[in-house]
Amino acid sequence: MKTNTIDPRGFISGPYIKCPKCGKDSFGILSIHDNHYSRRCKKCLFPNRTESGGGFPLPELNKKIIYIDQFAISNMMKALNPQTKTYKEGTLDEFWIRVFDRLARLCKLQLIICPFSGFHTNESLLSPYFEHLKRMYELLSYGISFYNHKKIKISQIYNHAKNWISGEGEKLLNLDVHSVVHGKINAWQDRVLISMNWQYDIDCIDNLRKTREKTHKEFSEIFKRWQSEKNKTFDDWFEEESMGFGRAIIRNYLSYEKRIEEIFKGDIEITEKNMNVLFPPLSAGIIDSIHDAFRKRGIKNSDIWPKTFEYLTSPSLKDVPFLKIYSMLVASIARKAAAGRKKPPNQGMANDIEIISVLLPYCDAMFIDNECHNYLKEQPLCDAIDYGTVFYSQKTKDEFLNYLDEIELKTTKGHFEKVDEVYGKSWRKPYKTIYVENR
């Protein structure tokens, strides 16, 4: 047998200070935790298990949550990655390097976090640079990610349904970002980021591409209808979209129930290719959450379904944040179509609307594409869906850089000193060699 010995000194790193026990300048960082860090001497290994004196408290953090859209992630990756054609030809706007510098620096200073989402993963999977894009959004998020967008929708519906059945349908929801992310936003981050690379099936990626194409085709067909609706107003399209949601949930749920019944009867044969018919759709999760909310408010089982139909056709549903934002963005596009716009939005627009509608209320700032930014500046959107989030796009590049600079300028000297104490003075330097060292 071969014995491998692990030397605890290998886990100790700088910055070093004088050891309280041996007096050597070897009292280094052993570990960093949510609100404290630990030191240990690399020479005498003070403190041992029976000694105290190695733990140090850290101040509370209040990081800004900034959502960075996929196209920005992609451009920052291309700006730093020698393997990309854009990098080799030097054709990319240097703005993306400046954005990366500031974002990476502020993340290291524990002032911001840029959580990634399933949207980032899905869009990256359609790129030949999936692993490189993944490295970029994980670096800026420190592994913090938003819940699946369906789970966030279900959560909002659940809480709104509880209010509605209690006669408080207009009560504002508590949209706490800490309840919709994996990981702790305001934790002091370790210097080591552990990432796992999953092997995604070719069929999975192909299905993502087909779904994206199908959604765009359907969106384009609806756009043609909007072009002919010259007599409609913004409120008409908003009403149509928002009130159609509940009816669609009921219709899709009943269809799912019928499909499951046919499977049990043997009328539908399950094979490897159609296995997905077994997976519950969003409508099933929403119906289940509504039933759960009603039961917790004392509604009898015999009244659950009648109340569910009443709720899903109630005007109160328009106040659910994700549905309100989504419907307003769709109404803005419809208004443009009826006003004479010729071309439908690009293939990514449906995805962009979905991202913004679900994540907007939980972010301090979002960097999004120009078209969506324009919609959000229009009335009635800029007033009706004001959650305190500020928006930036390529059209407001300088403003975004100023916003990031302002975060650092407003930070106290004591905070920077604490960062230097824990991570060292060289820590603030952005990791520009992210791709150079890992080719």
Tell me the pLDDT tens digit for each residue of 294-324: 999 999 999 999 999 999 999 999 999 999 9
- Token pair in block for residue 62: 């209040």
- The verdict on 314 and 372 lying in the same domain is yes
**Closest by CA position to 196, among listed 145, 128, 127, 149:** 145
- The verdict on 130 and 277 lying in the same domain is no
- The verdict on 307 and 165 lying in the same domain is yes
The position carrying tokens 């975004």 is 400
The position carrying tokens 């949209």 is 175
Each residue's pLDDT tens digit, 112-143: 999 999 999 999 999 999 999 999 999 999 99
- The verdict on 367 and 404 lying in the same domain is no
State the burial class of residue 408 (Cβ atoms within 10 Å of its Cβ: 0-12, 13-18, 19+). Answer: middle
The whole-angstrom separation of Cα 407 and Cα 108 is 13
- The verdict on 209 and 328 lying in the same domain is yes
Residue 274 scores a pLDDT above 70: no
Is residue 1, in this structure, part of any structural domain at all?
no
Is residue 190, in this structure, part of any structural domain at all?
no
Residue 273 scores a pLDDT above 90: no
Residues contacting 171, CB < 8 A, separation 6+:
163
What is the extent of the structural domain holding 416? 64-146+398-438
- The verdict on 329 and 368 lying in the same domain is yes
Number of domains forming the structure of the chain: 3
Residue 286 scores a pLDDT above 70: yes
**Closest by CA position to 425, among listed 413, 435, 417, 437:** 417
Q: Decide if 140 contacts 437 (C-beta within 8 A).
A: no
- The verdict on 38 and 141 lying in the same domain is no
Residue with more model confidence, 331 or 270: 331
In the predicted model, what is the mean pLDDT of the chain? 93
- The verdict on 142 and 156 lying in the same domain is no
Is residue 2, in this structure, part of any structural domain at all?
no
- The verdict on 253 and 369 lying in the same domain is yes
Residue 394 scores a pLDDT above 90: yes
**Strands 36-41, 55-57: parallel, antiparallel or unpaired by DSSP?**
antiparallel
Is residue 75, in this structure, part of any structural domain at all?
yes
pTM for this structure? Answer: 0.92
Is residue 3, in this structure, part of any structural domain at all?
no
Each residue's pLDDT tens digit, 176-229: 999 999 999 999 999 887 777 777 777 778 888 988 999 999 999 999 999 999
The whole-angstrom separation of Cα 380 and Cα 146 is 28
- The verdict on 204 and 108 lying in the same domain is no
Residue 173 scores a pLDDT above 50: yes
Residue 439's pLDDT is 42
**Strands 390-392, 365-367: parallel, antiparallel or unpaired by DSSP?**
parallel
Domain termination site, one of 26, 42, 57? 57
Is residue 142, in this structure, part of any structural domain at all?
yes
Is residue 417, in this structure, part of any structural domain at all?
yes
**Closest by CA position to 159, among listed 283, 325, 290:** 290
Is residue 191, in this structure, part of any structural domain at all?
no
The position carrying tokens 């592994």 is 143
Backbone torsion region of residue 143, taken as left when φ is above 0, otherwise alpha when ψ lies between -120 and 50, otherwise beta: left
- The verdict on 119 and 174 lying in the same domain is no
- The verdict on 352 and 231 lying in the same domain is yes
The whole-angstrom separation of Cα 87 and Cα 78 is 6
User: Comparing 79-83, 88-92, 380-384, which segment has the lowest mean pLDDT?
Assistant: 88-92
